[in-house]
Amino acid sequence: MVDSLFPSIETTVDDASPESRRKRRRISETAKETAESSEINQESLKRWRTNRVQQIYASKLVEALRRVRQRSNDGGKITSAAREIRDTADRVLAASARGTTRWSRAVLATRVRASLKKHKKAKLTGARKPRKDTAAERKRSKLPAVERKLKILGRLVPGCRKVTVPNLLDEATDYIAALEMQVRAMESLAELLAAAAPRSMLTRP
Amino acid sequence: MSSRRSSRSRQSGSSRISDDQISDLVTKLQHLIPELRRRRSDKVSASKVLQETCNYIRNLHREVDDLSDRLSELLASTDDDSAEAAIIRSLLNY
């Protein structure tokens, strides 16, 4: 599939010395990676933009929310309902990615860590903060605006703080498409619920 | 898969990100962000694109939070009526 995108590079591998062959192999490798990344971009757009995907997500979300409600009713834990819904929505979204993207794996991993941390006191988060006052950090703050913003982007996409630029692009692309789908699905769910419960809406103050 | 990516990062260097990579990132992100798609000019700076991307992601996060709020209110009201819940589920499964 990749060959069809870059036919000229593939054909020139046949001639010339081993050194230029090695150089061309490196070029074709980077070309392959760019092709792969553009494929990934195309795929993630396809993955998150179809109606079917949105419907599947919406129904999975409803099921998950019901289960969460059952558990909190039985357990008697007082968590804000909105927070619960947000966390469930993120979890189902990440699960839909089926472990193919770094951000989805990070979202699911932090949930496991968060539930484990409830039993042990969080000593790790306290130890991480003092690192910010080193001289290296002060030097780093003089980075050009672009690199600084790249870091911020890396912080916004879960699990992507120390990731290469092309990798970050792929992850951000997929993450944005997934978030857009999440918003659309939750909006349609809200509309459905609002339409299905006109009586209770009227009694609301 | 991840080992392939880490060998790539050793080539591009840890402190210096190549201009090519940045411009590549910028053009691709430009297509994703609705704000920038509307402008359609090639003069958008990398910094602007990155800023808009971060803003866009933050906006999406905020929308999800708002929707979670709305859903929490709506679900609280429909939770009692299982008939309505069945309707919703069947609507979603078409």
Domain ranges of chain A: 31-110+145-185
pLDDT at position A147 is 82
Per the structure, how many domains does chain B have?
1
pLDDT at position A3 is 42
Using alpha carbons, select from A94, A79, A183, A178 the residue that is nearest to residue B67: A183
Q: B60 at the A interface (CB within 8 A)?
A: yes
Better-scored residue on pLDDT, A14 or B17:
B17
Contact A172, A41 (CB under 8 A): no
Contact A96, A47 (CB under 8 A): no
Confidence band of A34 (pLDDT split at 50, 70, 90): low
Q: How many residues does chain B have?
A: 94
Q: B77 at the A interface (CB within 8 A)?
A: yes
Q: A152 at the B interface (CB within 8 A)?
A: yes
Q: What is the ipTM of this complex?
A: 0.71
Cβ within 8 Å of residue A18, ≥6 positions away: none
pLDDT at position A5 is 43
Using alpha carbons, select from A72, A171, A163 the residue that is nearest to residue B8: A163
Using alpha carbons, select from A84, A169, B77 the residue that is nearest to residue A160: A169
Q: What are A137-188's pLDDT values in tens digits?
A: 555 566 788 888 888 888 888 888 888 888 888 888 888 889 999 999 889 8
Cβ-based contacts of A173 with chain B (< 8 Å): 28-29, 32
Q: B83 at the A interface (CB within 8 A)?
A: no
State the pTM of this model. 0.66
Cβ-based contacts of B22 with chain A (< 8 Å): 146, 150, 165
Residue burial B7-28, b: 16+ Cβ < 10 Å; e: rest: ebbeeeeeeebeeebbebbbeb
Q: A143 at the B interface (CB within 8 A)?
A: no
Judged by CB atoms closer than 8 Å, whether chains meet at A197 and B74 is answered as: yes
Cβ-based contacts of A176 with chain B (< 8 Å): 32-33, 53, 56-57, 60
Q: B46 at the A interface (CB within 8 A)?
A: yes
* pLDDT at A85 exceeding the cut of 70: yes
Report residues of chain B scoring pLDDT below 50.
1-15
pLDDT at position B59 is 93
Better-scored residue on pLDDT, A112 or A15:
A112
Cβ-based contacts of B61 with chain A (< 8 Å): 179
Contact B49, B36 (CB under 8 A): yes
Q: Which domain holds residue B31?
A: 2-92
| Nearest-5° Cα angle at A137, A134 to A138 | 95
